Structure 1
Amino acid sequence: MARYFQEKSTIARFGGLFSFISILLCTSLPIQAQTSDFTACLNKLQPEAQKAGVSNQSFKRFTTNIVPDMGILEKLDYQPEFKQPIWDYLAALVDEQRIQEGLQNLALHKNTLNQIQKTYGVDPATVVAVWGVESNFGQTFGKYPLVQALGTLSCYGRRQAFFQKEFFAALRILQSGDIAPDRLVGSWAGAFGHTQFMPTTFERLAVDFDGDGHRDLMDNTTDALASTANYLAKNGWRSGQPWGFEVKLPDNFPIAGEGRKKKRSLQTWINKGLTDINGQPLSNLAPASMQAGLLTPAGANGPAFLVFKNFDVIYSYNAAESYALAIAHLSDRLKGEGPFQTAWPTDDLGLSRTDRVTLQKILLNKGHDIGEADGLIGSKTREAIKAEQTRLGLNADGRAGQKILRALLQKN
């Protein structure tokens, strides 16, 4: 996605320790001391902001009276240790609810999407798939005021130089009048709008597609969808070509060393014995000269895919293969294609958002303090799941899967 990607690598041992200490020191300071320190930092940034095109008047107008949000630092430095298996990730992102809502939005915005395709060459299903995954079709934008969030990250924590550029870009967006100050809200890391652009990405690639004089990704669906297509087009989208497709591997096929980046011609894969998932020749699906990499996100025993340039373009939106696969798969489902045919290598599949809400309601009824049943599996929900797994004699891993849901439904 066109937003800040959370680093996969863990923080270096001592660097993480120093960062942790700095968070403790910052969060333990009295609010007045934090605010004073933050104000001093902003004052130091003002000359740099002016060099970056933010007038002194605009800087003062948009930063006066903001206070740091120190809770953001925990999100920056300490991501949850719980890592979702890909079948959990896809179960929540590409579920029947999202598919049906996606189909409704394809119909609702048909004329606009067709015009966008004519302009940028990106098919409607892919654009709508990005929209669905990024903000649930405009239903989940994020709650953080961007000036406050990016200002905080510009003064504290890691990667301050990176966030300062985004901070200045956010101020320039407000200065231009494209988006009102009270509407510029989004993720803690600065992504905002229907399809979650970072401020610098907005400046480079957002478009005023309806010609009203403003580039608005918050309240103008037309601009947001067109800007998404423009992003994909500028990153190399190839009109009329597939992102990839599921394939069938020969028995004991060696996958070591293969991956998205290691492209070979489709003819090479044909020579190696790969077919489409139904056993038909790959030449029926794409020209033999097209370059494709072999993606096996769950290993040799799970679904396998040959992925082309367009998969890499989706990947550029948010540098994670699981994310790109979710977008790609959702786009296929919106075109009427079915689920992956190869089963994931697990006996405990993931839960759809509806199932997650059901699980949380059961946990709430059992007295667990997990907050709202919103389908989001956070630390409190995982701790409650662990408690119930222990009680039921299951592996207490805190994972929200089909096994714990079935067990709790049977016991209710």
Structure 2
Amino acid sequence: MSISRRSFGFGVAALGLTACGGTVPTGRGTSGSSGSSSLPADLRPTPNAGYDAWVAAFRSRAEAKGISRATLRAAFRGAGYLPGVVKRDRNQTEFKRTLEDYLAIAVSDERLAKGRAAYARHRTTLKTLEQTYGVDAEIICAIWGLESFYGERRGNVPVISATSTLAYDGRRGAFFEKQLIAALKILQNGDISAARMTGSWAGAMGHTQFIPTSYQSFAVDFTGDGRRDIWSDDPTDALASTAAYLQRNGWTRGLKWGGEAGAPGTPAGRKLQPQAGGPVFSVTSNFDVIKRYNNSDSYAIGVGHLADRIAGGGPLRASFPPDRYGLTKEDRILLQKRLTARGFDTGGADGVLGPKSRAAISAYQSSRGLAVTGDPSPSLLNSLG
């Protein structure tokens, strides 16, 4: 399997959608880069003799790759085994959302409103990056929105602890040891201190969630302060690094990513219908470049459509078909509202039936003496009317 910038994770810690690490999510994340005291207990260093022995042996391998003893001492001071990282890595499920559900989250009203506000705040920077790298300002902003909710969810797990834990664990040991070496080289270069080098549980970092090897290859110091600081509250270097990544992966200046087939302004291109019965898209080579950032059709459409909406475009014109339970999005929203009104909290009414909505359905079914399945249905909706 080829490793793209984040093929080991969905990005989208800010989305709450994970392909294997996340979505981020990204798993879906904690704001900023606060201290370890705000982390769950299982994401704080825990004594582990096997890990300690692994680190001791690793030091010689790191030195052989040019990492100084001073860097190793600084990097591992306070670092340790994080059991929660291993748990999250092993408990990833292969879960595929429909495009309709994905877009309901990726281009939610909240993400769109925050995106337009972030674009307005950073318009000068984004337009400068567009001129410099040829990548549409709205595309850069949309990736920022999907990866970290415009910087609100950058992750605060220490990267040295996370990558060394996963390298020691061994399931993807060679890959994560490579990420650990890259992270150490970043520290040695002086771009960031070990204390400030935080990210997702799988080691993706900063506003636009770069893994360490991609940071080494593509991160840029656009502010000119001598550091490629993708962690700072100032997102400039992170946004520039994203633009540089897309440019170097073949972005064509002035070419749209695509759009809904038949909609005004949508370029000619190959046709794509990710969800049977749903909208058809016409996509260009720049769509494929977005997939280099995250190898998912839904992700690339999410980025492109969010970018179009940030620029003032409207929602998709075509509708999606009813789901496998026979419910439309409007039905699912109504179901969530009715459950919540009855005291069964679904955590919101967006039409996406995630774990909280299914738990609410189960609780309602149990309260009525029904078979507890957690599954929606037209009859369940009607019973709540």
1:240 aligns with 2:216: no
Equivalent in the alignment of 1:349: 329
Q: Is the 8 A contact 1:89 1:350 kept in 2?
A: no
Rounded to whole Å, the distance in 2 between the matches of 1:203 and 1:119 is 20
How many angstroms does 1:9 deviate by? Answer: 9.7
Equivalent in the alignment of 1:304: 280
Using structure 2 for the length normalisation, give the TM-score: 0.78
Equivalent in the alignment of 2:15: none
Name the SS of the counterpart of 2:317 in structure 1: coil
Equivalent in the alignment of 2:194: 181
Name the SS of the counterpart of 1:294 in structure 2: strand
Equivalent in the alignment of 1:164: 177
Query: Which of 300, 303, 307 is matched with 1:331 structurally?
Result: 307
Change (3 A) 1:81 1:143: same
Cα displacement string for residues 53-91 of structure 1 (whole angstroms, at most 9, x for unaligned residues): 321221122113422112222322332355422211110
Across the two proteins, how many residue pairs are aligned to each other?
A: 343
Query: Which of 2, 5, 28 is matched with 1:2 structurally?
Result: 5
Name the SS of the counterpart of 1:245 in structure 2: strand
- How is 1:92-107 mapped onto 2 (pairs within 5 angstroms)? 92-107=105-120
Query: Which of 96, 99, 102 is matched with 1:86 structurally?
Result: 99
Query: What amino acid is the match of 2:253?
Result: S
How many angstroms does 1:95 deviate by? Answer: 1.3
Q: Is the 8 A contact 2:339 2:360 kept in 1?
A: no
Change (3 A) 1:51 1:396: same
How many angstroms does 1:217 deviate by? Answer: 0.6
Q: Which runs of 5+ in 1 are unaligned?
A: 11-26, 248-275, 279-283
Please tell me the root mean square deviation across aligned C-alpha atoms, in Å: 3.6
Equivalent in the alignment of 1:273: none
Query: Which of 372, 383, 387 is matched with 2:359 structurally?
Result: 383
Quick one: percent identity of the two aligned structures?
37
Rounded to whole Å, the distance in 2 between the matches of 1:403 and 1:324 is 36
Query: What amino acid is the match of 1:298?
Result: Q
Cα displacement string for residues 22-78 of structure 1 (whole angstroms, at most 9, x for unaligned residues): xxxxx9xxx64xx21101101111122122232122112211342211222232233
Rounded to whole Å, the distance in 2 between the matches of 1:145 and 1:398 is 38
Change (3 A) 1:205 1:160: same
Query: What amino acid is the match of 1:237?
Result: W
1:137 aligns with 2:140: no
Equivalent in the alignment of 2:85: 72
Query: Which of 310, 314, 320 is matched with 2:296 structurally?
Result: 320
Name the SS of the counterpart of 1:312 in structure 2: helix
How many angstroms does 1:388 deviate by? Answer: 2.7
Rounded to whole Å, the distance in 1 between the matches of 2:218 and 2:94 is 34
How many angstroms does 1:403 deviate by? Answer: 10
Cα displacement string for residues 167-204 of structure 1 (whole angstroms, at most 9, x for unaligned residues): 11112222222122222111111101000000111111
Rounded to whole Å, the distance in 1 between the matches of 2:68 and 2:132 is 35
Query: What amino acid is the match of 2:161?
Result: Q
Change (3 A) 1:81 1:229: closer
Rounded to whole Å, the distance in 1 between the matches of 2:179 and 2:357 is 33
Query: Which of 46, 60, 71 is matched with 1:58 structurally?
Result: 71
Query: What amino acid is the match of 2:248?
Result: K
Cα displacement string for residues 344-373 of structure 1 (whole angstroms, at most 9, x for unaligned residues): 112332899xx89x879949955x8x9x98
Using structure 1 for the length normalisation, give the TM-score: 0.73
Rounded to whole Å, the distance in 2 between the matches of 1:57 and 1:350 is 59
Deviates more, 1:115-124 or 1:48-57: 48-57
1:227 aligns with 2:204: no
Change (3 A) 1:286 1:322: closer
Change (3 A) 1:350 1:162: farther
Q: Is the 8 A contact 1:73 1:157 kept in 2?
A: no
Name the SS of the counterpart of 1:306 in structure 2: strand
How many angstroms does 1:238 deviate by? Answer: 0.6
Rounded to whole Å, the distance in 2 between the matches of 1:67 and 1:350 is 48
Rounded to whole Å, the distance in 1 between the matches of 2:257 and 2:141 is 15
Change (3 A) 1:100 1:54: same
Change (3 A) 1:294 1:212: same
How many angstroms does 1:390 deviate by? Answer: 5.6
Equivalent in the alignment of 1:293: 270
How many angstroms does 1:386 deviate by? Answer: 2.9
Change (3 A) 1:382 1:181: farther
Change (3 A) 1:245 1:379: closer
The structure that has the greater radius of gyration is 1
Name the SS of the counterpart of 2:282 in structure 1: strand
Cα displacement string for residues 288-334 of structure 1 (whole angstroms, at most 9, x for unaligned residues): xxxx33211112x1111121110001111011111111101101111
Change (3 A) 1:336 1:159: same
Equivalent in the alignment of 1:213: 226
How many angstroms does 1:6 deviate by? Answer: 4.3
Query: What amino acid is the match of 2:313?
Result: E
